[in-house]
Structure 1
Amino acid sequence: MEKHTKVALVTGGNRGIGYELVKQLALDGFKVILTSRNSETGHEAAQKLKESNLNVSFVMMDVNNQTSILQAVNTVSERYGRLDVLINNAGIYLDEHTKLVNMDPSVLEKTLATNFFGAYHVIRSFMPLMEQQAYGRIINVSSEYGAMSEMSSPGVGAYKLSKLILNGLTQLVAAESNNNIKINAVDPGWVSSDMGGPSAPRNPQQAASSILWLATIGPEGPSGGFFKDGKQIDW
């Protein structure tokens, strides 16, 4: 493994936690692929990091579009021939302050399309690159809102369900994967970003650090777990 520089890909890498994950991975010596569905902001973000002499490139990928995902897989395969770390960070938060049954169903459908199906299709599509080298680390950026205990409190139903199902996907894929490919879910905490708002107590740097240890775990490292700040938490 050591004779190659490892390659990492971060979805939704143009801002917030995603941007910070790209930066910290590159500082740690990874070749990093920053993906975003907005090609303009994605290019700008990658360019900014390149100017700091970091090995970052931009690939356009809309996680809601399977053709776009497959094009990204082909690009990564041609350019690097491998993928070692995949971080599913792209996510949306559209909830209105309404009960799930009163919500416009399109809010739930759009939320699941990105937060669950997006991650599912990205994992499914990139997994062969990991399988061909019998090595991979997949990290799903989840939320404490996805914990089963949260389902007994009202509110933010679409977002909660999307993260609950993402957590279920994490466990299933781990159970079905060879132990050389490890997949875990992480709760980054409440982070000051476009999604978290300005009053959140954590900054993206802290959140990224709490996620990234899972990118470099050894063969004895966990798989199929849910973590916050390096500690396992309940599903």
Structure 2
Amino acid sequence: MSGRVAVVSGGNRGLGLEIVRKLAAAGLRVVLASRSAERGEVAAARLEEHRDSVTVAPLDISDAASVAEFATWLRLTFGRCDVLVNNAAVAVDDGQDAETIDMDVVRRTMETNLLGTWQLSQAVIPAMRARRHGRIVNISSGVGRLSSMGAGIPAYRVSKCAVNALTRIMADELRDDGILVNACCPGWTRTEMGGPSATVSPEDAAVTPVWLATLPPDGPTGQFYRDGRPLDW
């Protein structure tokens, strides 16, 4: 992995920060992307022996101008991108239902979870294609599975279902370019989003996305995983 560059969106806390830590430990140069560069620097300082392998950069994936500025910075700074972990997301519709939810909540959720993931992927794919190597990992959720879709958190569910669809589409489009695209469900993780009662530690939740980020050339693509095992869609 020496010399390879990974980008982790929403990398300043929780699951994102643990993914940054594990990728740096695996020998990658990791870009910790955070909406607040100041918060990113504070988070990076907690990485101790891996701090020298991590570079902090500001990025708001819901803002097209921010994504474009980040892509330019990435090209000028490193000249490559080998791994993208689309981790940044919001969950702001708890306790609401599809019948009455405010459409502004739906739009905010989709702008970040789907469109932000999509436009950041678009921004780094050319660098991956140029080297005929890339790994895109979309952090999704089991609540986005059509096979078990139910009521509750409708905006979040729909956004993650759409991320799963995007995963399948991009995987099929990019399979001949050496770019593997997969999604994973980290489980109910003890983060600011998941809350203190969640059953999975960030350390355990990060194992599967890091595995997908470091797949060999003959690794799977267009699949959905939890705990290293495939899920149906």
Aligning the two structures, in what range does the TM-score lie when normalised by the shorter sequence? Answer: over 0.9
2:170 to 148, 168, 173: 173
Task: Decide whether the 8 Å contact of 2:190 with 2:201 is kept in 1.
Answer: yes
Paired residue secondary structure (2:99): helix
For the Cα contact (< 8 Å) 2:44–2:51, is it kept in 1?
no
2:148 match: 150
1:190-231 Cα deviation digits (max 9, x unpaired): 100000000111100000112211111112110000001111
Aligned sequence identity (%): 39
CA contact (8 A) 1:226 1:233 kept: yes
Corresponding position of 1:162: 159
Structure 2 residue ranges without an equivalent (≥5) = none
TM-score by length of 1: 0.95
Matched, 1:95 2:93: yes
Moved segments of 4+, more than 6 Å: none
Instruction: Determine if contact 1:82/1:129 at 8 Å carries over to the other structure.
Output: yes
Q: In structure 1, list runs of 5 or more residues that go unmatched.
A: none
- Distance, in Å, in 1 between the alignment partners of 2:50 and 2:72 is 27
Tell me which of 216, 224, 227 is aligned to 1:226: 224
The one-letter amino acid paired with 1:109 is R
Aligned partner letter, 2:174:
S
The 8 Å contact of residues 27 and 54 in structure 1, kept in 2 or not, is answered as: no
Secondary structure of 2:143's aligned partner: helix
Contact 2:25 2:50 in 1 (8 A): no
1:7 to 1:150, Cα distance in 2 relative to 1, 3 A: same
Identify the match of residue 19 of structure 1 among 14, 17, 31. 17
For residue 70 of structure 1, report the CA deviation from its aligned partner. Answer: 1.0
- TM-score by length of structure 2 reads 0.96
Provide the aligned C-alpha RMSD in A. Answer: 1.3
Q: Residue deviations 1:107-163, cap 9 Å, x none?
A: 111000100000000001111110111100000000001100232x21111100000
Counterpart residue number, 1:212: 210
Q: Deviations over 1:81-104 (max 9, x none)?
A: 111100000010001312212011
Task: Tell me the secondary structure at the aligned position of residue 84 of structure 2.
Answer: strand
Match 1:60 to one of 53, 58, 61: 58
